Structure 1
Amino acid sequence: MTPKIRYVLYLGFFILSFGLIHCSGGGSPETDPGGRSTPLAENTETITIPAEQTPDDTGKTDGFDVPQKYKEAQISIYSHIGGNAIEMAACASSEGIDMDEDNVPDHLDNCPSDYNPRQDDLNTNGIGDICEKSFPLGKTDHFFFNGSIAIDFEGNVFTLDQNYHRVEKFNSEGKFLQKFGHYGANAGEFSFPSAISMDTMGQFYIVDLSNSTAQVRNRVQQFSPQGNFINQWGTVGSNPSQFFHIEDRPLIHVNNNIYIVDGGNHRVQIFSNDGSFIKTIGSQGLADGQFMFPRKIWSDSAGFIYVNDTIYEVNKLGHIDSTKRIASRIQKFNSEGTFLNKWLSSKVGFLHLVTDQSANIYILQTDPPNIKKISSNGTVLKEWGSSGNGDGQFISPSGILIDQNNDIYIVDPIKHDVQKFDAEGAFLMKWSIEESDDKAFFRYNFTIDSDNNLYVVNPYAHRIHKINTTLGCITKFGSLFAEKQDGKFKNPSAIAIDATGNIYTIDTRDHLMLNFDARIQKFSSNGMFLQKFGEKKEVTFERLSDVAVDSTGNVYVIDQNRIDKYSSNGAFLKTLIENSDPKITFSNVALDPNGNIYVAEFLSIPPPAPPVPRIRKFDSEGNFLKIFLTADPSFVGYRIASDTQGSIYVITPNNLIQKVTPEGTLIKQWGSHGTGNGQFQFPQGITTDLSGNIYISDSKDYRIQKFNSDGEYLTTWNLEALLRNKMSYIIDLATDAIGNLYVVNPTQNLIHKFDTNGNELFE
């Protein structure tokens, strides 16, 4: 509100309180066909004048030109000042005045006294939620940010808002632009939008789940870049094009097919971009090419697919005990779902993997933290990372990214930092959040844009951090909101960047990410709010665990213990990989630049031995190629990332980062427990940039370390100074095309942006 308007209002209310003026008195001209002579005399049932029923040419009712119930509420707000104040409020709301400066004129604003550009009205009574003091804002108090965002080629960021069941669009500066969608079961409506992906044509694929026990649904909906509904597919079941819990966002492959993780069916389904079913990858079991509850899927620049699943303990009756996870694995497939290779971890499950342009795989794991770089054939090329607070060390790394230079970025929630490495694991630099109330910084979600900016999701700070990896500065945007405000967060949990630098964030509402009411918000590269989207809708998918997309837009989905292939339009194409072995649990899927598929899974073995994590590799047709397995029990970990060369970087439980070829051959490894450069205490996040550098976050040290592709330490971003609460941790991070790093701060509901030198640009 401008000082001039404030002055006028204060003066007017003062005069009215002494009864010195009368605003309308019956002489005001009638401006619509309603037959009333004054704005006050129109649609004001709370005073003794009958309500006018005829709307004017604005499409609104008269008076304030907003719904009748809203007028009643606003009149009651001003009524304590005096009778004439009611008329002043009506007169002051004439066309052209915008008291709250939200770019919505007061005569069209459902709450002109408070900034609310989105005009949220959860109970659809015509009164803005932010203005309706008596309305229970239980839902609008929570911004459920579940980790899935999308970025278009212009840099616009699209986020899902699960409270309002819609999609929101932001520009690269974080400015709100557009919203579409609403609650419902029809086409273009949402019940529980949980994940979003975008193909090369700018079309959206949104996973819509049900949070109702009475109605269980899993479906994928396809929208145009303008938000117009195009297609939908998916129902609950185990047949082709049916799902039992979609676990991850649709993976848009380089071949434009869509891969969807069908976790409850232990498979990934592949569809064409028109929704036609192509094939299924995998089935329930522990054998190569099979899955046990797959959860994540990735692809690399060569088109290979990587799927992560979990191996659980099997009791004496042969039943899987889902409460006792004993191992994790990643399997690699080609774009057709042929198994190629696998990687295993005997301790913990994968968090993530990335691949480089040479199809090397970078796998991030923890307990103790470690990153492995693996060749496309499964050979471990490099391994680095250890537990500690030093540079190159991790405490609980949870996210990994790779930029266009093949630099690796790893986020560590406990250390509250993002570390950058080259493709060989050499520490380059790190970013840390130092503010005292920002300590609940990261968990694991972050992404990178085409400029190599990293975006890290911080659900506890309700913000996103952007790290400019070139200049080394950090910026952040977003904050905690109470009434569903644009550009603010409640527990943001995941982040992604499009080719032009726009940021997409998921707001989970709950720090445990239980996916009650999430939304996606879109921001510009400078944190300007642009848009939100994803209105609630009836569910058609159930129990999908992970998804990956190839270079042509096909989507690979883990559906229980199979991998199905879909087109970019959601058409089921074929089942590539089926798993019939109940001892195998799918976890994640990823693709390399050649279209091969990698599936991370767990192989359950008789207790007391823990399940064996492994990675299986398939070709693009789903044909099994190889199992990635070594004698080292820490070979596979929580997080994996791939660079542009196809190499895979893995964070292992012993604070090592391993770099392996697409074939699973160890190329290099580095890292150890500690607080020095190249050491880790609790590494959790890992990502790579386009130059092949690696970024690893350490949750315990509040820092992000940067390494080159050989694991050589480059630099550190120390984020502790930006954190304000020692309980905070890094939730996610990402890099853009020029090396900026974006860090999500869930506790303070902020996103921080850093340049390549670790300097904060904005928040």
Structure 2
Amino acid sequence: MTPMPNRGYLLKSLPLLFASAVLLAAPALPRPAHAGDVPAFAVDAAWPKQLPNNWIIGQVGGLTVDAQDHVWVFHRPRSLTDDEKGAALTPPRSKCCVPAPPVLEFDTDGNLLRSWGGPGEGYEWVGREHGIEIDDRGFVWLTGNADNDNALLKFTLDGKFVMQIGKVAPSKGSNDTTQLGKPAETALDKAADEIYVADGYGNHRVIVFDATTGAYKRHWGAYGNKPDDTKQAPYDPKAQVSQQFGNPVHCVKIAQDGLVYVCDRINDRIQVFRKDGTFVKEWFYEKNTLGNGAVWDLAIWPDPKQTYLLSADGENNEIRVLKREDGSVVGSFGHNGRNAGQFHWVHAMAVDSKGNVYTAEVDTGKRIQKFTLTSDALR
């Protein structure tokens, strides 16, 4: 028979046993942020606030952040279904809702500050809203990617028309200097007063214009080559690497050191150039990804060295954190789904000066989200 333990021993051991149980049951505390951390984020499920005027947004083609950390959204009112825009029907189908104007400006708290957009005098409005960029001089640049959306529009912050490059008319191909080809996105080089266009859904190039006059400057294709509009075979990860950009050429970004980053979405790669179109290097991501590809948008991290790139992947529905120096993946967040913090076709992305990330979704996603920085990654 096993001897009974001494009663005094049990009484002396109880405090130690109790303390051990508390330590085992206590949740782990988050690790304090340290300078130089890799960017990490938490979704802000309360952002943005409810829109006024019974408004609702559709598919979000583009999203950007201006110098005041205001978030600008370019959405597609015509993508809303009858059940979503029920209050706008004749007779009304339901209490809610009415399509919001296509251009919306929010502050960091999610309050709507400004709205405008749509057809008007002096310009041709796009058939399907896509890209938006705000330059430091107070101008808004818009692109579209419907058939014949082969123009680039420039407005003031209040929606006053300034300039149109190209026409809403058939494309003339990837080596024409007067017309675009369903451009996806733009980037501004303030010092040179130039606008770079990821061109795009129809053409296979990056093209550069004078941002004030609209005059053509230069263009290039993949690897800095002359672009070629010969029909390409469907992407095959086992095939030889394509020497041309696929469709779409979905983003272009310019870093402070003069490097130009281009999203070759279908080909699952980022290509890096100098401003004159000289090819520097390329990186591939999730090379087995088919469908709509793995590289949809990029954002440059706002620390002094611009240490990281954030890369949105709308097919795998995640955002990767990359070292800008070598393209290596050092973190990621997001997952396919429709809950807060998840994505369904994360289409565009931007980061503000405080490291908050904003995302936009197309297809049935039809929403924007905010992710707040939780690590100390801005030093």
Which TM-score applies when normalising by structure 1? 0.30
Equivalence for 1:533:
218
DSSP 3-state at the match of 2:133: strand
Matched, 1:601 2:304: no
Q: Which of residues 162, 165, 189 is equivalent to 1:498?
A: 189
Matched, 1:444 2:146: no
Equivalence for 1:661:
372
Query: Aligned equivalents of 1:386 and 1:395: distance in 2?
Result: 16
Matched, 1:380 2:49: no
Query: Aligned equivalents of 2:311 and 2:369: distance in 1?
Result: 17
Does the Cα contact within 8 Å between 2:71 and 2:105 map onto a contact in 1?
Answer: yes
Equivalence for 1:146:
none
Query: Aligned equivalents of 2:259 and 2:109: distance in 1?
Result: 31
Does the Cα contact within 8 Å between 1:392 and 1:419 map onto a contact in 2?
Answer: no
The 1:531–1:406 alpha-carbon spacing in structure 2 relative to 1, beyond 3 Å, is same
DSSP 3-state at the match of 2:116: strand
Q: Which amino acid aligns with 1:587?
A: V
Query: Aligned equivalents of 2:170 and 2:369: distance in 1?
Result: 43
Structure 1 vs Structure 2: percent identity of aligned residues?
16
Does the Cα contact within 8 Å between 1:387 and 1:655 map onto a contact in 2?
Answer: no
Does the Cα contact within 8 Å between 1:456 and 1:464 map onto a contact in 2?
Answer: yes
Equivalence for 1:552:
257
Does the Cα contact within 8 Å between 2:182 and 2:202 map onto a contact in 1?
Answer: no
Q: Which amino acid aligns with 1:586?
A: A
Q: Which of residues 602, 626, 638 is equivalent to 2:347?
A: 638
Q: What is the number of equivalent residue pairs in this alignment?
A: 275
- In structure 2, runs of 5+ residues without a counterpart are 1-35, 79-100, 229-241
Equivalence for 2:61:
398
Equivalence for 2:105:
420
Q: Which amino acid aligns with 2:372?
A: T
Matched, 1:570 2:282: no
Equivalence for 2:320:
616
Q: Which amino acid aligns with 1:515?
A: N
Q: Of the two structures, which has the highest relative contact order with CA contacts closer than 8 Å and spacing of 6 or more?
A: 1
Does the Cα contact within 8 Å between 2:285 and 2:294 map onto a contact in 1?
Answer: no
Does the Cα contact within 8 Å between 1:592 and 1:662 map onto a contact in 2?
Answer: no
Query: Aligned equivalents of 1:505 and 1:548: distance in 2?
Result: 8
The 1:501–1:455 alpha-carbon spacing in structure 2 relative to 1, beyond 3 Å, is farther
C-alpha deviations, 1:56-78, integer Å up to 9, x for none?
A: xxxxxxxxxxxxxxxxxxxxxxx
Larger radius of gyration: 1
The 1:587–1:564 alpha-carbon spacing in structure 2 relative to 1, beyond 3 Å, is closer
Equivalence for 1:473:
160
Aligned-residue offset at 1:639: 2.1
C-alpha deviations, 1:602-642, integer Å up to 9, x for none?
A: 6xxxxxxxx75222324445554433136963522322222
C-alpha deviations, 1:359-406, integer Å up to 9, x for none?
A: xxxxxxxxxxxxxxxxx4121135546999957631122011111101
Instruction: Say what the alpha-carbon RMSD is for the aligned residues.
Output: 4.8
C-alpha deviations, 1:194-239, integer Å up to 9, x for none?
A: xxxxxxxxxxxxxxxxxxxxxxxxxxxxxxxxxxxxxxxxxxxxxx
Query: Aligned equivalents of 1:487 and 1:567: distance in 2?
Result: 20
C-alpha deviations, 1:567-621, integer Å up to 9, x for none?
A: 775344x96x76577699622343312322323336xxxxxxxx75222324445
DSSP 3-state at the match of 1:593: coil
Aligned-residue offset at 1:432: 1.6
Does the Cα contact within 8 Å between 2:272 and 2:279 map onto a contact in 1?
Answer: no
Equivalence for 1:408:
71
Does the Cα contact within 8 Å between 1:519 and 1:532 map onto a contact in 2?
Answer: no
Query: Aligned equivalents of 2:206 and 2:253: distance in 1?
Result: 21
Structure in which a larger fraction of residues adopt strand = 1
- In structure 1, runs of 5+ residues without a counterpart are 1-333, 341-375, 603-610, 666-763
Query: Aligned equivalents of 1:426 and 1:492: distance in 2?
Result: 31
Q: Which of residues 310, 317, 333 is equivalent to 1:628?
A: 333
Does the Cα contact within 8 Å between 2:171 and 2:179 map onto a contact in 1?
Answer: no
Query: Aligned equivalents of 2:186 and 2:262: distance in 1?
Result: 20
The 1:392–1:550 alpha-carbon spacing in structure 2 relative to 1, beyond 3 Å, is farther
Query: Aligned equivalents of 2:191 and 2:354: distance in 1?
Result: 22
Query: Aligned equivalents of 2:215 and 2:330: distance in 1?
Result: 44
Which TM-score applies when normalising by structure 2? 0.55
Q: Which amino acid aligns with 2:112?
A: F
